[in-house]
Amino acid sequence: MLAYGIDVSKEHLDIFCLDQDVIIYEKRIKNKFSAINSFLSKINPQAIICAEYTGVYSNLLTHLSNCNGIKIALTSGYDLQI
């Protein structure tokens, strides 16, 4: 199972995925409906997302992840390490 770590801000999402300590995916996308939907449509539905909880800025990612059946966990940016 792949896990994606996402740093969330008002304007964009910084997305990383590691496999055995090697970054296999790294991308910055806009924190907008179409960009997030496009990203989620390309990842394996069995993947899990661990994202920084930033209040309203992480709401769209959370909502769209749930709509697409992708597991998401929100945590403090201090606790999220990749």
Distance CA 47, CA 15 (A): 13
Our CA angle for 82, 35, 47, nearest 5°, is: 45
Residue identified by tokens 């661990």 is 50
Flag whether 16 is in a domain: no
Output the pLDDT for position 69: 95
pLDDT one-digit tens code per residue, 7-54: 999 999 999 998 777 788 899 999 999 999 999 999 988 999 999 899
Q: Is residue 27 part of a domain?
A: no
What confidence category does residue 82 fall into, taking pLDDT thresholds of 50, 70 and 90? low
| Both structure tokens of 41 | 């449509």
Residue 44 in any domain: the answer is yes
**Domain contains 15:** no
Q: Is 24 among the domain residues?
A: no
- Average pLDDT on 59-78 reads 92
Kindly report the CA angle at 10 between 64 and 63, in degrees rounded to 5? 15
Residue 19 lies in a domain: no
Asked whether residue 39 is assigned to any structural domain, the reply reads yes
Domain span including residue 2: 1-9+32-49+61-68
pTM: 0.88
CA distance 73 to 17: 15
Cβ burial 29-40 (10 Å sphere, 16+ → b, else e): eebeeebbeebb
Structural domain includes residue 79? no
Q: How many domains, the chain?
A: 1
